[in-house]
């Protein structure tokens, strides 16, 4: 049976030879837009050291320490009694929009950044920014710095009005599509490990675009680090400091409004999807940080959970005795609203559900821990306490 194999074999050999020639062709002729050699005037205030994208979080930011890690005096708690909510409430952030800290700050470029994955990246052009992560934090920071006009695309979690017109780069499944991103021709990509696949982010780097990975942890403590890292990477460190100060002021103001209870209520953060999926938030869920910030106790952390989210059985939720249930709005919808909660075994038997102490909040806003966190804390405190 040599005849049927010979002809395709010759074609294959020709194809392989062509492939080898093409491989010898090497790199593309035209270098892509970014990553040029720095013949431009160096930034006046840029030090010799690269901006670190993965800085250390400031523990207790806005609760016990200020933006530089210095301890702040303890808040005086109001003496009035605290009453919890009596009917299911949706915590709504007062203003949905983003408040830029200034108008169009001038980036001082080029900037050298040490990305979280160890690569040192040089940013020379910030006219076409793409900031994508699972929670929408990075985009929120970019817009709050006043660089919103330079953004060319957004992720699904970025829903504020100023970004609505931008094409969504991660529909549905939080999965990036390399070609679609390349079509937008970004000049710098800000991202982290919460979104993927990593190979696509690396492909963008292969294409010559500076890709910077930031820390994917999210809590109150990481807010100043993220703001400073993003601002530094985009060449606007002064605007970054302004934003950190403003965010600190907003959060402390919100905390002042939140009464510190003598007996701090126990709040359980639940991730619900239908009746079967019930994940209780524990240390590192993000919500634990917010819950402590409004002077309450996080049930998951106190119960000794070790992971950010744990699938629990119906009996567990009864045994932990939450005073208040905190849910994401999509989770509440998946069980058909507050009425549906009383049909879910386990939840229905908790006092929190029976007495209507259920708070829900929009997913995109609740865990993003960006510059608007002050508003989130205020909204949460207003919903939980009456």
**Which residues bind to other proteins, rule: CB under 8 A?**
1, 3-5, 7-8, 11, 15, 18, 20-26, 28-30, 32-33, 134, 167-180, 182-183, 185, 194, 196-200, 202-203, 206-209, 271, 279, 307-309, 311
User: Of all residues in the chain, what percent are helix, strand and coil, respectively (each to 5)?
Assistant: 35, 15, 50
Q: Cβ closer to other proteins: 148 or 284?
A: 284
The H or E element containing residue 360 is strand 358-361
Least Cβ distance, residue 351 to other proteins (angstroms): 28
Least Cβ distance, residue 214 to other proteins (angstroms): 15
Q: What DSSP letter does each residue of 172-192 carry, written as one string?
A: TTSB--HHHHHHH--SEEEEE
List the beta strands (DSSP E) in 222-299.
266-273, 277-281, 297-298
Least Cβ distance, residue 295 to other proteins (angstroms): 27
Least Cβ distance, residue 152 to other proteins (angstroms): 12
Least Cβ distance, residue 312 to other proteins (angstroms): 11
Q: Cβ closer to other proteins: 243 or 290?
A: 290
Least Cβ distance, residue 142 to other proteins (angstroms): 20
Least Cβ distance, residue 6 to other proteins (angstroms): 10
Q: Cβ closer to other proteins: 28 or 161?
A: 28
Q: Cβ closer to other proteins: 48 or 120?
A: 120
Place of tokens 């909040």: 361
Q: Cβ closer to other proteins: 63 or 189?
A: 189
Q: What is the 3-state secondary structure (H, E, C) of 279-340?
A: EEECCCCCHHHHHHHCCCEEHHHHCCCCCCEEECCHHHHHHCCCCEEEEEHHHHHHCCHHHH
Q: Cβ closer to other proteins: 32 or 337?
A: 32
Least Cβ distance, residue 216 to other proteins (angstroms): 8
Q: Cβ closer to other proteins: 20 or 120?
A: 20
Strand partners, 154: 168
Among 210, 188, 191, 206, CA closest to 128: 188
170-179 long-range contacts, Cβ below 8 Å, gap at least 24? 170/132, 170/195, 174/134, 176/132, 176/200, 176/201, 178/203, 178/204
Q: Cβ closer to other proteins: 17 or 253?
A: 17
Among 181, 173, 179, 145, CA closest to 157: 173
Phi, psi of 132 (to 5 degrees): -130, 130
């Amino acid at each position: 049976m040599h005849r049927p194999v010979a002809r395709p074999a010759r074609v294959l050999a020709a194809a392989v030879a062509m492939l080898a020639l093409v491989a010898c062709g090497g790199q593309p002729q035209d270098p892509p837009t970014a990553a040029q050699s720095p013949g431009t005037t160096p930034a006046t205030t840029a030090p010799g050291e690269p901006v670190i994208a993965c800085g250390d979080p400031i523990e207790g930011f806005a609760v016990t320490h200020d933006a530089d890690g210095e301890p702040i005096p303890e808040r005086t708690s109001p003496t009035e009694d605290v009453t919890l909510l009596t009917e299911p409430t949706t915590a709504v952030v007062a203003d949905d929009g983003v408040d830029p800290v200034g108008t169009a700050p001038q980036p001082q470029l080029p900037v050298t950044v040490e990305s979280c994955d160890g690569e040192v990246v040089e940013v020379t052009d910030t006219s076409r920014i793409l900031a994508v992560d699972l929670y929408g934090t990075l985009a929120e920071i970019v817009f709050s710095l006043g660089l919103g006009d330079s953004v060319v695309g957004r992720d699904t979690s970025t829903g504020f009005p100023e970004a609505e017109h931008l094409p969504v780069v991660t529909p549905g499944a939080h999965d990036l599509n390399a070609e679609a991103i390349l079509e937008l021709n970004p000049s710098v990509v800000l991202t982290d490990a919460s979104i993927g696949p990593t190979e696509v982010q690396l492909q963008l780097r292969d294409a010559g675009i500076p890709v910077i990975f930031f820390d994917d942890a999210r809590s109150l403590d990481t807010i100043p680090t993220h703001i400073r890292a993003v601002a530094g990477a985009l060449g606007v460190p002064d605007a970054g400091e302004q934003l950190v100060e403003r965010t600190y002021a907003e959060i402390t103001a919100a905390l002042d409004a939140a009464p510190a209870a003598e007996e701090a209520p126990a709040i359980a953060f639940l991730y619900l999807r239908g009746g079967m999926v019930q994940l209780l938030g524990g240390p590192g869920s993000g919500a634990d940080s917010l819950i402590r910030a409004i002077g309450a106790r996080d049930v998951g952390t106190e119960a000794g959970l070790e992971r950010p989210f744990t699938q629990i059985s119906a009996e567990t939720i009864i045994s932990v005795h939450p005073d208040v249930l905190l849910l994401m709005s999509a989770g509440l919808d998946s069980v058909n609203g507050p009425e549906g909660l009383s049909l879910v075994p386990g939840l229905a038997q908790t006092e929190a559900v029976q007495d209507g102490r259920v708070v829900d909040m929009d997913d995109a806003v609740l865990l993003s821990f960006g510059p608007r966190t002050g508003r989130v804390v205020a909204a949460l405190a207003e919903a939980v306490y009456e």
